[in-house]
Structure 1
């Protein structure tokens, strides 16, 4: 098994099996559509099969802060249905989180997904356990806004309540079934049952370099749950030289051949740094049961792609539907951001708010999946002034991005400009490395970007011409979990894609005819 099995931004993996097919659901935070589900028959080779939260009734994240939105989904299968539990987080700063938990079901992984059932808002990382007696139990971490008081934690433990699917609501008493170990930050609960024991899977230590997967068990669904001598199943907290860092938050699964597996999230920091532009990725490891009924992990049983390389080489042509590799930010109304039919063979972006907007930003992008990559786009646009811009962006969030764009200066000349916002949290101020801009002729233009570990270099050419670098070398590592607010506050991963904006509010448009992405094993050399 070679890890990560899902390279690039794929955190909080929840796994289930239906027959011979495995499904993993991962968090998408502010990226729309919400929740990504990949499928595999061998646990190694995966394919995207669904992003279920694709309409306003299921998810609307307009106005939500960076790294809020969809946290830690739980995917399960029971009663002939797929069950997806998810949290929509509306706030990050301060003592409150404003977390709303929902469940939706579907007869097939492709849908149709039902209208959501609201569950509660007491915390995040919600899941449902289907017991063998037919009852269903909802668990989530409990957020305590009084967490700064002595003896308390914002992570107030794990709470359990029964779910009545016929009544479409939680019923009965709420019971706190677990508090925390010394690692604290207790979250990510999942329950499964084996040999008469209820096992409680937890993520603790915060989703940074002290992250762990913790196990507790009980003879009763509502506890008390006790941890064993080897309660921390997966962690790299005491192994700073391990290629996979920040390991934690996963779920157990049994294979038809009698083997046992465990998903977990991880990151691969760039060499010599503690910065992870690929974000938190999904990995899997084989586990075993001890004679006394606890899980153990043998790290020797899996390999790691230590060179940060994943085979990913795609040239995208635009048709009637957007390729599923691409996502956009926050809004369930993509028709206001882009049009796939207005200009045949083109993706038309409709300029809206700024590239850093938390409401409507015409930005269509895909994940960075390797430490070294090249991306290119072909663009035809006629900017009106400096408020109308379109181009290519390497993007992490609203305060972490580099953006090469076509615009016009005050003299009406078409120019290339660069906006760089390298972790300027919380103010989001940008630097302008090209000043007023670099003059270019009218007509179609191609824009490119090359990333080599920590270095990002933009390039450009007139369509069909010779590539030339543009602007200074920029810090690619700033587009990482650790490059802004830090590992415990930034939860996504770097993307690269196309953007357009019209800060005068007239919905100016720009047409893209091609986008290409390729991971590289070696540093780019144009010789």
Structure 2
């Protein structure tokens, strides 16, 4: 069979913890969403090469307001059995100190697009849950277990297994400790597969940073004992410092329509040795079963460097569609928008059909973890142009609206229209990096809106521009803004539009005429 070259990552930008499922001739990948709503994004493919956003699963019933940064929705797993889709996920309420307050849930649906059931609570002993449907009719639930007594900073203590009763909708019977982990430690992301009469347990170890790895063990019985593969870890970039793909781990398996096996996994593209502003992305690698019944990757611990372009045993050409546009002229927002910690309601987000505008009412500050009114998309490329047009009439300095780069509530850049007591309506720029708040002294007087705002990103820097809609040329507000600080943590950088009112929530608004995001190159 002729192999085809594809480029990793196959799903660029913040799309971590990929879990893959094949039903009939369709492939699905679920990814973590953390504090961003809608929760748990699903991508679809018919060829394993080209992926498109299909749907989100957690859309209405989840309220993450107040959850700490980097917590909330972790590690979804999708499965299918006898006409029903199953999805497990963790809602992490605390991830600091010796404790990890995390609650594991299950939802079900007749189709991947729903309707999805209410969440069924299962346990809280650890995170990264998964459901395995044994051909003998039993269902088994696995998750990482957290032990606050450990003296290490990461207190993952291995993997536990318990039977799930479908009729009672709860876990029943004995809890089995099936894997203690290896010396790599930080064991998480357990997935069970049955192949050639062996139960295979795949886990992520080494943490989600540069030591991230994929380990494999197996057993003749699902409750163990499990034997570690002699070639574990089967995937890691920890010994490949020059590889363009780093932090590889958190993997899952699928057999393709052509009979070949593939592993999708988390990865990061790092610039200048330390900065991955796009966050953790989804990549793919072909894997093989050895004569001894173990999994083998072409980029294992003793293999070559991981390269962005690989060959796989499929025949479809890859087309990456990363541009995004919303003119706010439909009854609903263009699919792909994201919101912080809770889905929006009409009290602060309204589509004005007649005017073809999006009205956003002012919320709390960008540092808030409760009601920050930000509408944003994932940054999917290092080089891009993001642009919007807004109508806004602020009356005090506590009212502002504009376009922003947002990693967390402690790391963002905000180009915004506000009010100055001496100059009236002005354009300003703020930057917040942990405890370092910087308000640019530059103020540009704005005689009237609408005003168009533009961000142009190039690698680890960006430039800000503005102009009136009837002007031909853009005016430079600030060039060569260092964006390296928009890196790290669990999520990637987002780009969006925001409205703030620190005097009174929802008391003022801005109207946005459009938003678009265009990738400048694939370099």
Category of TM-score, reference length = shorter chain? over 0.9
User: Could you say what secondary structure the match of 1:231 adopts?
Assistant: coil
1:477 paired residue among 467, 479, 484: 484
Whether the aligned pair in 1 keeps the contact of 2:326 and 2:333 (CA below 8 Å) is: no
Match of 1:387 in 2: 398
Q: In structure 1, how many angstroms separate the alpha carbons of the residues matched to 2:405 and 2:492?
A: 11
Q: In structure 1, how many angstroms separate the alpha carbons of the residues matched to 2:27 and 2:106?
A: 20
Q: CA deviation at 1:472?
A: 4.9
Q: In structure 2, how many angstroms separate the alpha carbons of the residues matched to 1:416 and 1:253?
A: 51
Q: In structure 1, how many angstroms separate the alpha carbons of the residues matched to 2:222 and 2:326?
A: 49
Q: CA deviation at 1:473?
A: 2.7
Matches within 5 A, 1:181-330: 181-270=182-271, 272-299=272-299, 304=308, 311-318=321-328, 319-330=330-341
Whether the aligned pair in 2 keeps the contact of 1:310 and 1:370 (CA below 8 Å) is: no
TM-aligned CA distance change 1:384 to 1:153, over 3 Å? closer
2:424 paired residue among 409, 413, 418: 413
Q: In structure 2, how many angstroms separate the alpha carbons of the residues matched to 1:469 and 1:113?
A: 47
2:470 paired residue among 464, 467, 488: 464
Whether the aligned pair in 2 keeps the contact of 1:15 and 1:23 (CA below 8 Å) is: yes
Whether the aligned pair in 2 keeps the contact of 1:389 and 1:406 (CA below 8 Å) is: yes
Match of 1:86 in 2: 89
Q: In structure 2, how many angstroms separate the alpha carbons of the residues matched to 1:345 and 1:302?
A: 46
Q: CA deviation at 1:438?
A: 2.3
Match of 2:496 in 1: 497
Q: CA deviation at 1:174?
A: 0.9
Runs of 5+ in structure 1 lacking a partner? Answer: 482-489
Q: CA deviation at 1:301?
A: 12
Deviations 1:309-362 (A, max 9, x none): 965333321122111121010013433431113763111111110112100111
1:404 paired residue among 415, 425, 434: 415
Q: How many residues align?
A: 503
Whether the aligned pair in 2 keeps the contact of 1:217 and 1:227 (CA below 8 Å) is: yes
User: Could you say what secondary structure the match of 1:232 adopts?
Assistant: coil
User: Could you say what secondary structure the match of 2:407 adopts?
Assistant: strand
Whether the aligned pair in 2 keeps the contact of 1:144 and 1:153 (CA below 8 Å) is: no
User: Could you say what secondary structure the match of 2:114 adopts?
Assistant: coil
Q: In structure 2, how many angstroms separate the alpha carbons of the residues matched to 1:336 and 1:148?
A: 47
Whether the aligned pair in 2 keeps the contact of 1:21 and 1:41 (CA below 8 Å) is: yes
Deviations 1:108-167 (A, max 9, x none): 111000011100011100000000111000000001112226xx9600110110001110
Q: Does 1:166 align with 2:176?
A: no
Match of 1:486 in 2: none
Q: In structure 1, how many angstroms separate the alpha carbons of the residues matched to 2:286 and 2:522?
A: 31
User: Could you say what secondary structure the match of 1:447 adopts?
Assistant: strand
Whether the aligned pair in 2 keeps the contact of 1:86 and 1:126 (CA below 8 Å) is: yes
Match of 1:487 in 2: none
Match of 2:37 in 1: 32
Q: In structure 2, how many angstroms separate the alpha carbons of the residues matched to 1:313 and 1:171?
A: 47
Q: In structure 2, how many angstroms separate the alpha carbons of the residues matched to 1:20 and 1:346?
A: 40
1:2 paired residue among 1, 7, 27: 7
Q: CA deviation at 1:470?
A: 0.6
Q: CA deviation at 1:386?
A: 0.8
Q: In structure 1, how many angstroms separate the alpha carbons of the residues matched to 2:309 and 2:33?
A: 23
TM-aligned CA distance change 1:142 to 1:155, over 3 Å? same
Q: In structure 2, how many angstroms separate the alpha carbons of the residues matched to 1:506 and 1:394?
A: 22
Q: In structure 2, how many angstroms separate the alpha carbons of the residues matched to 1:104 and 1:471?
A: 47
Q: In structure 1, how many angstroms separate the alpha carbons of the residues matched to 2:470 and 2:517?
A: 18
Whether the aligned pair in 2 keeps the contact of 1:198 and 1:219 (CA below 8 Å) is: yes
Q: CA deviation at 1:49?
A: 1.2
Whether the aligned pair in 2 keeps the contact of 1:286 and 1:297 (CA below 8 Å) is: yes
1:433 paired residue among 440, 448, 457: 440
Whether the aligned pair in 2 keeps the contact of 1:381 and 1:509 (CA below 8 Å) is: yes
Q: In structure 2, how many angstroms separate the alpha carbons of the residues matched to 1:77 and 1:198?
A: 18
Whether the aligned pair in 1 keeps the contact of 2:423 and 2:445 (CA below 8 Å) is: no
User: Could you say what secondary structure the match of 2:270 adopts?
Assistant: coil
Q: CA deviation at 1:190?
A: 0.5
Match of 1:485 in 2: none
Q: Does 1:17 align with 2:16?
A: no
Q: In structure 2, how many angstroms separate the alpha carbons of the residues matched to 1:278 and 1:162?
A: 38
Q: CA deviation at 1:419?
A: 1.0
Q: In structure 2, how many angstroms separate the alpha carbons of the residues matched to 1:330 and 1:344?
A: 29
Match of 1:446 in 2: 452
Q: CA deviation at 1:225?
A: 1.0
Q: In structure 2, how many angstroms separate the alpha carbons of the residues matched to 1:73 and 1:321?
A: 26
Q: CA deviation at 1:303?
A: 5.8
Match of 1:119 in 2: 122
Deviations 1:32-58 (A, max 9, x none): 0100000001111111111010012xx
Q: Does 1:340 align with 2:347?
A: no
User: Could you say what secondary structure the match of 1:52 adopts?
Assistant: strand
TM value normalised by structure 1: 0.92
Match of 1:520 in 2: 520
2:381 paired residue among 365, 370, 375: 370
Q: CA deviation at 1:506?
A: 4.2
